[in-house]
Amino acid sequence: MDFTTPSGQRIKKSARTTDRKEAQELHDRLKAEAWRRDQFDERPERTWEEAALAWLDDRERSDNGTLSGILRWLTDRLEGKKLSAINASLIGEITAQKRKEGVTPATVNKYLMVLRAVLRHAHSLGWIPSSPRIRILKTETKRVRYLTKDEATRLIAVLPDHKADIVRFSLATGLRMRNVLGLTWSQVDMGRRVAWIHPDQAKARRAISVPLSDEAVDVIRKQLGKCDTHVFSFNGQPIQRVNNRGWQKALKKAGIKDFRWHDLRHTWASWHIQNGTPLSVLQELGGWESVSMVKRYAHLSGEHLQKYAGNGGRVPNTSQQTLEVVKTW
């Protein structure tokens, strides 16, 4: 579809159908709506489904299973709802429904943040006058779970070679699972010993330069000739998933509890901090958007505070003084 509104705005987009008649009907409807909006300031009532699709269309990052599941759950409860009807009361009901499922507040917040993102995008398109306020639930700050060197050695020893290499590379670079599995040979320069993550692949939507340590280079060299496109593969095919039943069995066999795949990234960051890497440097290496995301690891290293530790002065030896006071009493 390609037309210009009375105000001069050009509308050019796909009708999302291969049926010419349907496309023409949609084209005519949108053109009429644009005319009414410009002439009479009429704004058609949009539904939740329209807002969700518009938000997805605007996203530069590819979809993933978690996001699809969240949108399906929300759509089951908001299908056919006008955006104007999604108010604080309805949002409160949705929050309560999700909490009744017995999930953690952090999980509920994931659903609320997607809902908030869709509504804010709808507001930016002029579909609603304002985006309703969505209260995010309070969550407990959990400890950082990371592997000791001994645990990492045990885990790698019980994994099959292709997964062991991915774990070694993750611990050497701190990259997220999808960035490791999606890494292609075109993103690696062995001569300069660097890899890179494109903005559309990064969580913060900005490019990440990944310097390659000796460990990372060794792992990559092992993959040469195994797959034409991707660095990590199995039987010549890119690996799609590693956080599966085999991963859980390996953790059990290695005697490691309470550990997720994403904790490999926490382990990488924790080891860096323990070895003296400054927080600002770690932020850049890990591609975090703000330093607050890195401060969760700050407690693992106190070297920068060591010189201030004695500023409180020495604690007096009071044992003899106390004895003399008791005698006086």
For residue 14, which of 22, 96, 6 has the smallest C-alpha distance?
22
**CA angle, corner 212, sides to 210 and 216, nearest 5?**
120
For residue 53, which of 127, 110, 112, 2 has the smallest C-alpha distance?
127
Would you say the C-alpha torsion 199, 205, 210, 216 has a positive or negative sign? negative
| Residues with a known catalytic role | 176, 203, 262, 265, 288, 297
Written as one letter, the residue type at 291 is: V
Q: How many helices (H) and strands (E) does the chain have?
A: 13, 7
The whole-angstrom separation of Cα 70 and Cα 166 is 28
For residue 130, which of 23, 43, 250, 254 has the smallest C-alpha distance?
43
The whole-angstrom separation of Cα 136 and Cα 116 is 10
**What are the distances in angstroms from CA 146 to CA 32, 265, 267?**
58, 8, 4
For residue 135, which of 101, 118, 111 has the smallest C-alpha distance?
111
Please name the residue that has the structure tokens 């890990």.
286
The whole-angstrom separation of Cα 155 and Cα 168 is 10
Token digits of residue 229? 């496109």
Q: Which residues contact 94 (CB under 8 A, 6 or more apart)?
A: 74, 77, 78, 111, 115
Phi-psi domain of 16 (left: phi exceeds 0; alpha: psi -120 through 50; beta: other): left
